[in-house]
């Protein structure tokens, strides 16, 4: 059941998570990123039942005041500092001893806060995605893709179809690029720059912006996790038109060592075990 509108959902948890993200702008991360999703939602529901804001954790006198507060203050998100949530995120299992909050470095947070302030003017347009390479915002994905192509020479739809990227691979790619750009590092030659401006100049001049590095550098589970909270671009991604590419995507010609390391990673990944375990847990319901 949705925590915000009481609509009921059955079946795949991603349907509910998508509903909450789309209808209520509440995003706790990608379904694949979360373990024991139902337990997690129950914890959150418990907070709401106690009339507590999920983000600032203040307690309110009644449900409507709480709802108003969470909507107006844009507190429809979870408090990343709350360690209680850590166990629900796969990233904690992949990087032992490090919380997902620590994984996002401090300066990520700062930049993120600034971004959120900038976005406050945009309440009328909840779908407002930010360019991967500059501060440009667009209310439609098409316009943003056009901007990235014209201004930076990065042709996302073309890359998508050429590499046969499915939804999750696009998510990982976007998160990877955001992270590299945030660290002022060229994703092709790894050169580091003092400023984002310097980096983008380099990437445009050398055309390093236009093509992707080896798949193994970015097609990694840690990039399921957004570099920025509330990255609207992620919500607007869609499967590439020829969805059949999805099944073949692993067959896409990459350097052979990439494939083998990817397969090894998949086999050894705790992620798979966790997902299997979770499926079993869900069957008990």
Binding site for Zn ion (CB under 5 A): 2, 4-5, 7, 23, 53, 55-56, 75, 131, 133-134, 136, 186, 188-189, 208
CB nearer Zn ion, residue 137 or residue 175: 137
CB nearer Zn ion, residue 77 or residue 109: 77
> What is the per-residue burial (b if ≥16 Cβ within 10 Å, else e) of 194-229?
eeeeebbebbbeeebbbebeebbebbebbbbbbbbb
Question: At 253, phi and psi to the nearest 5?
Answer: -60, 110
Distance CA 146, CA 165 (A): 19
CB nearer Zn ion, residue 30 or residue 66: 66
Distance CA 158, CA 203 (A): 18
Compute the least distance from the CB of residue 109 to Zn ion, in Å.
17
CB nearer Zn ion, residue 23 or residue 102: 23
Question: At 252, phi and psi to the nearest 5?
Answer: -55, 130
CA 117 to chain centre: 19
Compute the least distance from the CB of residue 134 to Zn ion, in Å.
3
Compute the least distance from the CB of residue 3 to Zn ion, in Å.
7
Residue 59, helix vs strand vs coil: strand
CB nearer Zn ion, residue 182 or residue 262: 182
Compute the least distance from the CB of residue 273 to Zn ion, in Å.
32
CB nearer Zn ion, residue 2 or residue 259: 2
Distance CA 285, CA 44 (A): 19
Cβ atoms within 10 A of the Cβ of 97, count? Answer: 6
Return the bridge partners of 94, or none. none
Distance CA 114, CA 135 (A): 11
Compute the least distance from the CB of residue 52 to Zn ion, in Å.
9
Compute the least distance from the CB of residue 46 to Zn ion, in Å.
16
């Amino acid at each position: 059941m949705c925590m915000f509108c009481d609509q009921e959902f059955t079946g795949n948890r991603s349907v509910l998570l998508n509903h909450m993200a789309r209808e209520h702008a509440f995003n706790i991360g990608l379904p694949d990123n979360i373990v024991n999703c139902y337990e997690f939602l129950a914890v959150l529901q418990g907070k709401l039942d106690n009339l507590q804001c999920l983000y600032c954790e203040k307690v309110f006198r009644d449900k409507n005041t709480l709802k108003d507060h969470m909507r107006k203050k844009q507190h429809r998100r979870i408090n990343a500092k709350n360690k209680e949530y850590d166990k629900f995120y796969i990233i904690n299992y992949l990087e032992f001893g490090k919380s997902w909050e620590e994984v996002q470095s401090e300066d990520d947070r700062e930049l993120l806060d600034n971004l959120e302030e900038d976005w406050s003017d945009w309440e009328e347009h909840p779908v407002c995605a930010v360019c991967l390479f500059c501060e440009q915002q667009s209310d439609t994905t098409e316009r943003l893709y056009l901007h990235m192509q014209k201004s930076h020479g990065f042709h996302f739809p073309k890359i998508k179809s050429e590499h046969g990227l499915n939804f999750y691979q696009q998510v990982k790619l976007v998160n990877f690029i955001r992270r590299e750009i945030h660290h002022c590092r060229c994703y092709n030659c790894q050169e580091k720059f003092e400023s984002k401006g310097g980096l983008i100049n380099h990437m445009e001049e050398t055309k390093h912006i236009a093509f992707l590095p080896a798949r193994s550098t970015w097609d990694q589970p840690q990039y399921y996790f957004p570099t920025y909270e509330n990255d609207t671009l992620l919500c607007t991604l869609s499967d590439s038109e020829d969805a059949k590419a999805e099944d073949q995507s692993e067959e896409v010609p990459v350097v052979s060592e990439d494939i083998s390391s990817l397969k090894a990673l998949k086999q050894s990944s705790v992620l798979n075990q966790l997902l299997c375990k979770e499926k079993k847990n869900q069957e008990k319901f």
